[in-house]
């Protein structure tokens, strides 16, 4: 079954504001996490990843934070744009699970103009 989950299934954000998407995981042995973005009618697209020996990683307009103490990670999108409207998935890899990805159900982000 699922070992990752997202706190909220939907998020509505005003254009220009920052977005924060949360994800909780249950297995403390998980050591690699990935955020994917999926636009309507397309396959998931890699956004950013983080390994368990880090607590923060930054990309272009995105930051992923990992809190291993409470088994929580978040994706922050700065200055949200209409093109950021999509479904966002967090996924984890468990070494004990043959390194297979386990996906959460996703958060749908809608950007208001």
What does the H/E/C string look like for 45-89?
EEEEEEECCCCEEECCCEEEEEECCCCEEEEEECCCCHHHCEEEE
**Contact flag: residue 43 with another protein (CB under 8 A):** yes
- State which residue, 70 or 100, has the beta carbon closest to another protein: 100
Which one among 13, 21, 34, 111 touches another protein, defined by CB under 8 A?
A: 34
Total number of residues shown for the chain = 113
Which one among 92, 106, 109, 111 touches another protein, defined by CB under 8 A?
A: 106
Residues 45-84: x where in contact with another protein by CB under 8 A, - otherwise, as a string:
xx--x-----------------------------------
CB count within 10 Å of CB 32 equals 15
How far from chain centre, in Å, is Cα 27?
A: 16
Phi first, then psi: give them for residue 69, nearest 5 degrees.
Answer: -65, -45
Binding site residues, another protein, CB under 8 A: 2, 9, 32, 34, 36, 41-46, 49, 89, 91, 93, 95, 98-101, 103-106
């Amino acid at each position: 079954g699922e070992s990752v989950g997202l706190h909220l299934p939907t998020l509505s954000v005003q254009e220009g504001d920052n977005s924060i998407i949360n994800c909780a995981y249950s297995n403390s042995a998980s050591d690699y996490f990935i955020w994917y973005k999926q636009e309507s009618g397309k396959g998931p697209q890699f956004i950013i990843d983080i390994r368990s020996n880090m607590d923060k990683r930054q990309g272009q307009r995105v930051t992923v934070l990992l809190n291993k103490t409470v088994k929580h990670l978040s994706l922050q999108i700065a200055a949200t744009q209409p093109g950021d409207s999509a479904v966002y998935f967090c996924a984890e890899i468990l070494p004990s699970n043959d390194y297979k990805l386990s996906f959460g159900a996703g958060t749908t982000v809608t950007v208001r103009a």
